[in-house]
Amino acid sequence: MKKILMLFVLMLTFSAATYAQKVYYKCTGDNVRVRMQPSTSAKLVQYNDVEIVEPGPVYLQTGDFVTSKGVKRNGFVQVYYHGECNLWNVGWVSEKYLKLAKQCTKCKGQGHLGGVCPDCKGEGDEYCCNWTGKKLCPECYGVGYK
């Protein structure tokens, strides 16, 4: 019985560790399509918040960041929008247009070093500070990754 219980705990630990893992990717191409399924024939993901951006399909540009839980299929990576606004949720991007991003050493992935944003005076209601009210890291410009 103890062996079964230990095996169950071990499996639960591994699945929780895998689920919690977050990977950051940086896009290496322009007009890279974000698809609904891991296939070149799949429909494109559409923007959620059309008050901020024009309605239509989501395209990544060089330097855009996305997050992933490490799920890959058919040469595609399942990715999630990385940002404060809810522009889009989840999609699939061809692995050939993504490279692993490295955590910013200056802010240790936080995107800011503390201090009040000089543009919005700490209000946090402007894009100037990614809506945090804190001054952005000068190395990664608020992303936390490079």
Per-position pLDDT tens, the chain of length 146? 544 434 444 444 444 444 558 899 999 999 999 999 999 999 999 988 666 677 889 999 999 999 999 999 999 999 998 776 778 889 999 999 999 999 999 999 888 888 898 888 888 876 777 778 888 888 988 888 88
Q: Residue 75: its pLDDT value, please?
A: 97
Q: How many Cβ atoms are within 10 Å of 76's Cβ, its own excluded?
A: 22
Q: Is the dihedral of CA 86, 90, 91, 96 positive or negative?
A: positive
User: Residue type for 73, please?
Assistant: R
CA pair distance 143, 113, nearest whole angstrom: 12
Q: How many Cβ atoms are within 10 Å of 66's Cβ, its own excluded?
A: 25
* Paired strand residues for 91: 79
Q: Does the model's pTM come out above 0.85? A: no
Q: Residue 120: its pLDDT value, please?
A: 87
Q: Residue 137 is encoded by which pair of tokens?
A: 């890291």
User: Residue type for 131, please?
Assistant: W
CA pair distance 79, 29, nearest whole angstrom: 15
* Paired strand residues for 65: 26
Q: Residue 128: its pLDDT value, please?
A: 78
CA pair distance 48, 122, nearest whole angstrom: 27
Q: Residue 16: its pLDDT value, please?
A: 43
Q: Residue 55: its pLDDT value, please?
A: 82
